[in-house]
């Protein structure tokens, strides 16, 4: 007899079964909604859900919520509850929660969305052998506390058991559908072929890779697509062997290592549809239990990989080429590059230029312990090298080969040092050395590197700059000394003229002998003063630096220059040797001012230093000049120690010297040759072979001779124009303004000129401007160098306001002109009286200026 309860139960089950019959996949939104409606007809739940295990820690949730509460995401994930898992999956019993507000954290979360109680039923599926296993959970939640207990548990469990087989089929269909989607959308081509070697299936990627539509690809022999395997067999042979061989042997013979490279012959996308070769990575596997498929292959297009490999190969070749170029660059770089072992400090690398620079074969240098340290010529240089290596060692930790070497980040390169390096069978060179550490990424010291740069030329240039700077300073001092000498010298000469005139004046009677003695004394005093002035002029000429306008040349009086050099070196010569002059009349030469004097002074000083004081007073230094009309030769010969034959060719090299450091730097002869050759000449040395002369120290040595040969500039014969003789006096007295800050000279000059003219004397340029404002002058005798406003500045100011007075200027100076003064004088066109000058010289210049200005007026 069927009761009403049984009828309701059967009705509910039939409703669920109708939903399951209509839908193969229950885990889709629409079928699940229909299932929820069928269950809701008999149980008023809040939410119904199916939870499918996914991994050890999560479950996939398929749920429908009744009411207005926010629904869960269909197909979302939730965490596993261990208590539920044990109850439902292990014990296969329902799990009840009567009040979610008192439960676990996940229960309290359910309470927040309106579920105050719930029940979980195991969803079971049989394996066909009487064994059931739980494959999912059926969950119903209720909006009231204890609602789950009032639900028909047995009916709901039956519904859960009915769902088991349907859900398992749904799982399988979903998995197949996902796999099919993966195969369809995979970027790797997949092919299958039968035992006849014809393709039976292919995914979309295979169609794209082979360039054939599906209807053309299916049935195509695999041998048309794939080239031979690495063992020489083709894919057709694989298919044949698959059909004849036992499964184990077949698998061994057919299955290849994943990713083996094969050639695939594909149709191009061009209208001609020509075949093109593509390299693919193939994984081919035999199929045993499918009568339609012998093997299938997974093919991955390696075109981009092959292109990348070809590019990498090209880059590797380029890297090798660059490495070779880099090695060549290092070998040819004009410096020594080395690397030291951080532990032993010995050489592990040395570039080829070191071999050329030091004259030592590279293999020998690398095999010589402490080679670089021993290459330093001086103990100080070797110590600097040791200190630099020690600093490099302290920059890192223990030596390591891990990581690429690098210089320490943020650590400045150590300061360089300079030292002399020995060269085999040659002179030492000056080098600048830098030593620095190479560190790994971990900061560990892996090597010590360094550079040694040949700076001999730079060192020579720097030394020459220092010498030029000293000469410039000496020239400045000489100019100041000349000014201080020439001003009183000018006063003395004027005073001697006045004294001579007084002694010869009316009313002065002297005994003839006394008069003659006074005249001779005055003459000697004049000569002495002139000699003082000449020495000051010679010193200034010698000490002047090279011209700033790229070596402007001037006509040089050779004998006058030699005399100047002799006057400067006389003090060094007379205490060692007798001085002999043989100066023929020779034409002038073209050179920079002061450069010839510098060369001759260098040769005279060398000659004096070549004669030791122990040789006695019978030694000599002979200076001679001669000319054949085309060239002028200056010879300096001494009877000193001579020059050994083995070093005769090296005396012209910079820094080569046999003297002690306090006697020279080894640059004198090098600079002298440079000066002479720059002027178009040449210089050479001669010395008899030492040991063959037979002279001992008491009689002097073999001696040496230095000869300078310069092209002659011509005699420059003076052509005297035929002019009317210039009168020494004027027909009338003229107004003369004397501007001189030296009081005694100004007073003497005023007295001398005042005998013939009206003279006004002022001591500064400002007083001169006041005087010029008060009255007009016919002549203005103005000193060039004065405190405050100079004579040049005074002239410029007067020329701007009163050009007529500017034409009356005659400048006086006791110093060398210099480039700036020469430019000024050339621009102004005014005459110059060099101090010391006589009263007659000044009177003659006054006559010239007055006559010239008078002629200009008419």
- Residues 466, 717: Cα–Cα separation, whole Å: 40
pLDDT of residue 51: 92
pLDDT of residue 241: 46
* 695 vs 54: CA distance, rounded Å: 116
Q: What is the pLDDT of residues 605-645, one digit of tens each?
A: 888 888 887 666 678 889 999 999 899 999 999 888 888 87
Q: How far is CA 699 from the centre of its chain?
A: 62
Q: What is the pLDDT of residue 746?
A: 87
Of 812, 682, 789, which is closest to residue 738 (Cα–Cα)? Answer: 812
| Integer Cα distance of 33 and 854 in angstroms | 133
pLDDT in tens, 352-368: 888 888 888 888 888 88
Q: Where are the beta strands (DSSP E) in 687-791?
A: 704-711, 735-739, 758-762, 779-783
SS3 string of 473-519? HHHHHHHHHHHHHHHHHHHHHHHHHHHHHHHCCCCCCCCHHHHHHHH
Contact between 354 and 361 (Cβ < 8 Å): no
Tens-digit pLDDT profile for residues 752-804: 888 889 999 999 999 999 999 999 999 999 998 888 899 999 999 999 999 99
Pair 416, 391: CB distance under 8 Å: no
pLDDT at 122: 95
User: What is d(CA 657, CA 463) in angstroms, rounded to the nearest whole number?
Assistant: 15
Instruction: Encode pLDDT of 440-474 as tens digits.
Output: 887 788 888 888 888 877 766 666 666 665 555 55
Angle between helix 791-801 and 818-828 (nearest 10): 30
> Is the per-residue pLDDT at 266 higher than 50?
yes
Q: In the Cβ-directed half-sphere of 764, how many Cα atoms lie within 13 Å? A: 6
Choose among 600, 620, 614: nearest CA to 681.
600
What order do you get walking across the sheet with 704-711 strand by strand?
Answer: 578-583, 620-627, 631-638, 704-711, 682-686
Q: Contact, 793 vs 821, CB < 8 A?
A: no
Structure tokens given for 17: 């079964």
Dig out the tokens for 236 from the structure.
Answer: 């057709």
Q: Are 438 and 447 in contact (CB under 8 A)?
A: yes
Rg of the chain over all Cα atoms, to the nearest angstrom: 58
Tell me what pLDDT residue 354 has. 83
pLDDT at position 96: 94
Please report the pLDDT score of residue 254 as a whole number: 40
- Provide mean pLDDT across the span 425-431: 78
Q: What is the pLDDT of residue 697?
A: 45
Return all residues near 40 (Cβ < 8 A) that are at least 6 apart.
Answer: 48, 66
CB atoms inside a 10 Å sphere around CB 457 = 11
Residue 593: predicted pLDDT: 67
CA torsion sign for 263, 266, 268, 273 is: positive
Q: Which DSSP helix (H) or strand (E) runs through 149?
A: helix 147-150
Q: Is the pLDDT of residue 748 over 90?
A: no
Burial (CB count within 10 angstroms: exposed 0-12, middle 13-18, buried 19+), residue 130:
exposed
Task: Quickly state the pLDDT bin for 120 (edges 50, 70, 90).
Answer: very high
On the question of pLDDT at 548 being above 50, the answer is: no
pLDDT at res. 554: 78
pLDDT score of 661: 47
Q: For residues 285 and 298, give the distance between their C-alpha atoms in angstroms, rounded to a whole number.
A: 9
Residue 714: both structure tokens together: 């011509």
How many whole angstroms separate alpha carbon 849 and alpha carbon 852? 5
**How distant, in Å, are the alpha carbons of 459, 559, 674, 710 from that of 678?**
21, 20, 6, 10
Alpha helices in 413-455 (DSSP H): none
323 CB burial (10 A radius; 0-12, 13-18, 19+): exposed
> Is there a contact between 134 and 120 (Cβ–Cβ < 8 Å)?
no
Predicted pLDDT of residue 794 = 93
- Selection from 199-208, 287-296, 348-357, 718-727 with the highest mean pLDDT: 199-208
Cβ distance 89 to 134 under 8 Å? yes
Mean pLDDT lowest for which of 72-86, 229-243, 513-527, 557-571? Answer: 229-243
The answer, yes or no, to whether residue 402 has pLDDT greater than 80, is: no
pLDDT in tens, 675-710: 888 888 999 888 875 543 434 444 556 788 899 999
Q: Fill in the DSSP letter of residue 647.
A: G
Stretch 815-843: mean pLDDT: 81
**pLDDT of residue 28 exceeding 60:** yes
Contact predicate 280/301, CB 8 Å:
yes
Q: What is the structure's pLDDT at 480?
A: 57
Whole-number Å distance between alpha carbons of 27 and 47: 16
Is 853 in a helix, a strand, or coil?
A: helix
Residues facing 339 on adjacent strands: 349, 449
Cα dist. 252→86, 198, 282, 737 in Å? 45, 22, 16, 126
**pTM of the complete model:** 0.40
Mean pLDDT of 131-150: 91
At 244, the pLDDT band (50, 70, 90 cuts) reads very low
The pLDDT value given to residue 786:
87
């Amino acid at each position: 007899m069927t009761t009403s309860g049984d009828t309701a139960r059967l009705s509910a089950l039939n409703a669920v079964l109708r939903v399951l019959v209509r839908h193969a996949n229950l885990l889709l939104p629409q079928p699940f909604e229909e299932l929820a409606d069928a269950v809701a007809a008999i149980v008023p739940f809040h939410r119904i859900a199916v939870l499918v295990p996914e991994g050890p820690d999560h479950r996939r949730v398929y749920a429908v919520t009744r009411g207005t509460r926010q629904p869960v995401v269909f197909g979302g994930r939730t965490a596993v509850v261990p208590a539920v898992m044990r109850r439902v999956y292990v014990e296969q019993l329902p799990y009840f929660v009567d009040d979610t507000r008192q439960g676990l954290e996940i229960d309290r979360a359910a309470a927040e969305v309106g579920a105050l109680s719930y029940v979980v039923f195991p969803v079971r599926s049989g394996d066909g052998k009487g064994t059931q296993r739980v494959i999912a959970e059926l969950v119903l939640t209720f909006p009231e506390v204890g609602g789950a207990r009032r639900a028909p548990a047995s009916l709901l469990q039956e519904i859960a058991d009915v769902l088991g087989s349907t859900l398992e089929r749904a799982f399988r269909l979903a998995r197949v559908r996902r796999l099919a989607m993966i195969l369809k959308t995979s970027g790797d081509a997949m092919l299958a072929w039968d035992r006849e070697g014809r393709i039976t299936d292919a995914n979309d990627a295979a169609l794209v890779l082979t360039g054939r539509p599906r209807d053309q690809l299916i049935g195509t022999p695999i041998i048309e697509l794939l080239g031979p395997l690495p063992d020489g067999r083709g894919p057709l042979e694989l298919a044949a062997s698959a059909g004849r061989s036992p499964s184990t042997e077949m698998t061994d013979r057919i299955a290849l290592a994943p990713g083996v490279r094969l050639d695939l012959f594909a149709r191009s996308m061009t209208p001609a549809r020509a075949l093109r070769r593509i390299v693919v990575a193939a994984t081919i596997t035999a199929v045993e239990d499918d009568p339609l498929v012998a093997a299938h292959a997974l093919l991955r297009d390696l075109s981009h990989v092959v292109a990348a490999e070809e590019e990498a190969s090209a880059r590797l070749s380029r890297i090798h080429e660059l490495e070779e170029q880099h090695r060549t660059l290092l070998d040819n770089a004009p410096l020594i590059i080395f690397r030291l072992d951080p532990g032993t400090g010995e050489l592990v690398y040395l570039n080829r230029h070191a071999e050329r620079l030091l004259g030592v074969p590279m293999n020998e240098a690398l095999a010589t312990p402490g080679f670089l340290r021993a290459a330093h010529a001086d103990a100080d240089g070797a110590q600097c090298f040791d200190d630099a290596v020690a600093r490099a060692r302290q920059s890192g930790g223990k030596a390591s080969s891990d990581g690429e070497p690098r210089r320490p980040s943020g650590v400045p390169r150590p300061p360089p040092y300079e030292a002399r390096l020995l060269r085999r069978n040659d002179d030492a060179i000056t080098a600048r050395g830098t030593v620095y550490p190479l560190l790994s990424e971990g900061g560990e010291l892996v090597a010590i590197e360094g550079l040694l740069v040949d700076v001999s030329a730079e060192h020579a240039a720097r030394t020459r700059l220092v010498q030029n700077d000293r000469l410039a300073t000496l020239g400045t001092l000489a100019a100041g000394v000349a000014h201080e000498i020439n001003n009183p010298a000018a006063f003395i000469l004027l005073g001697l003229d006045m004294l001579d005139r007084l002694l010869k004046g009316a009313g002065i009677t002297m005994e003839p002998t006394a008069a003659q003695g006074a005249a001779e004394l005055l003459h000697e005093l004049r000569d002495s003063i002139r000699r003082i002035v000449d020495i000051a002029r010679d010193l200034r000429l010698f000490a002047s630096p090279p011209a700033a306008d790229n070596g402007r040349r001037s006509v040089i009086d050779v004998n006058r220059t030699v005399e100047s050099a002799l006057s400067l070196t006389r003090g060094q010569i007379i205490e060692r040797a007798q001085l002999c002059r043989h100066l023929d009349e020779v034409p002038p030469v073209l050179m920079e001012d002061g450069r010839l004097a510098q060369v001759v002074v260098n040769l005279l000083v060398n000659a004096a230093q070549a004669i030791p004081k122990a040789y006695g007073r019978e030694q000599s230094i002979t200076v001679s000049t001669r000319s054949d009309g085309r060239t002028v030769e200056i010879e300096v010969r001494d009877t000193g120690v001579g020059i050994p034959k083995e070093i005769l060719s090296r005396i012209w090299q910079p820094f080569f010297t046999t003297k002690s450091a306090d006697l020279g730097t080894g640059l004198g002869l090098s600079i002298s040759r440079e000066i002479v050759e720059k002027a178009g000449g040449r210089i050479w040395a001669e010395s008899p072979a030492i040991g063959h002369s037979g002279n001992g120290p008491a009689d002097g040595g073999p001696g040496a001779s230095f000869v300078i040969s310069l092209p002659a500039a011509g005699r420059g014969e003076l052509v005297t124009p035929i002019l009317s003789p210039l009168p020494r006096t004027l027909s009338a007295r003229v107004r003369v303004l004397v501007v001189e800050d030296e009081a005694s000279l100004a007073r003497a000059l005023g007295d001398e000129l005042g005998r013939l003219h009206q003279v006004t004397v002022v001591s500064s340029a400002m007083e001169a401007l006041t005087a010029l404002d008060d009255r007009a002058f016919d002549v203005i005798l103005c000193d060039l160098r004065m405190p405050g406003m100079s004579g040049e500045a005074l002239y410029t100011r007067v020329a701007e306001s009163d050009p007529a007075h500017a034409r009356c200027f005659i400048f006086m100076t006791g110093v060398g002109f210099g480039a700036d003064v020469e430019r000024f004088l050339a621009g102004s066109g005014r005459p110059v009286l060099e101090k010391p000058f006589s009263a007659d010289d000044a009177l003659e210049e006054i006559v010239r200026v007055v006559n010239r200005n008078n002629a200009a007026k008419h």
